[in-house]
Amino acid sequence: MTTPLKKKNGLGRGLSALLENAESDITTRENRPVGGVYQIPLDQLEANPFQPRTEFDQILLEELAESIKVHGVIQPITVRKMGYDKYQLISGERRTRASILAGLEKIPAYVRVANDQDMLEMALIENIQRSDLNAIEVAMSYKRLMEECSLKQDELGQRVGKDRTTVNNYLRLLRLPDEIQSGIKSGNISMGHARAMINMDDMAEQLEMYHQIVDEKLSVRDVETLVKDKKEGRKESIPLKGTDWDPEIDRITALFHEKLKSAVHLKHSGRGKGKIIITYKNQNDLERILGLIG
């Protein structure tokens, strides 16, 4: 009989709390009770249907595989017992994939019994605790925990070791347009940029600001200042009747942008009057624009 390893402390608070209640007398064909760490054959392991992450960087997987060839799998994966010689992955899919690439036949695994609700919660919490997740992946995991595990924000914060404000800041990112969310995932903008744009009420203005951030490589401080100026300017501006959308106005706006290499917005009234808003990022940029106009 294989002697189970002693369970180590230091797992994430939420995942550790769940694992502490994993008591069962179910055994494997080799008479291995759940609740310990064992070497599990990889061909007896099936994927976790609740895995919240679907994309894995192939280069990083290959780098991890090379490390595993030298050092082995340092942190055991977590699996649930499905029957004799059959396990289902709860957490650790990246380590599992890398182990297969490394040519391993077995992998160290903490064996436990879990129902579907437990599996979903543990997989999500384990995923959130990774350091390489982007802000949208974290936000989506928070959302799934709240919706599918019936958790309130305070309860969610306790599970993942975050305060309510932090949880709420991530969830608010999901209100942004899809294009901006994709920009966060791809690294075009940071969470700091996104948080500043959340305070803008108009989706079109958010998208305009997003493109300006990417085109002009604005800092988070730049964006915060621009958003603040927009809000203050909106309060002081004279309202213009009519619509901003007009094919001719769009054409002229595009020409301004091409000429000035800066974000330009035309406000056009139904009576033909309006105003031009030219955005500059610093004093030198303003001088450059003035030179072009002059």
Domains of the chain: 13-133 (3.90.1530.30), 177-293 (no CATH)
- In DSSP terms, 83 is beta-bridged to 86
CA distances (Å), origin 150, targets 126, 145, 164, 181, 197:
18, 7, 16, 25, 29
Residue by residue, what is the 3-state secondary structure of 241-271? CCCCCCHHHHHHHHHHHHHHCCCEEEEECCC
- Known catalytic membership, residue 93: yes
pLDDT by 10-residue block (mean), the chain, 294 residues: 34 40 42 69 84 74 91 86 82 89 92 68 68 80 78 81 86 90 90 90 86 89 87 49 55 80 71 75 82 81
Q: What is the reported pTM?
A: 0.46
Cα distance between residue 200 and residue 182, in whole Å: 18
* pLDDT attached to residue 193: 93
Catalytically annotated residue among 93, 121, 126, 137: 93
Report yes or no: 174 and 203 within 8 Å, Cβ to Cβ: no
Burial bucket for residue 39 (CB in 10 Å: 0-12, 13-18, 19+): middle
Token pair recorded at residue 90: 């709860």
- In DSSP terms, 111 is beta-bridged to 79
* pLDDT attached to residue 53: 64
* pLDDT attached to residue 5: 31
* pLDDT attached to residue 96: 92
Report yes or no: 75 and 95 within 8 Å, Cβ to Cβ: yes
Report yes or no: 116 and 50 within 8 Å, Cβ to Cβ: yes
* pLDDT attached to residue 18: 41
Helices 153-160, 164-172: axis angle to 10 degrees equals 110
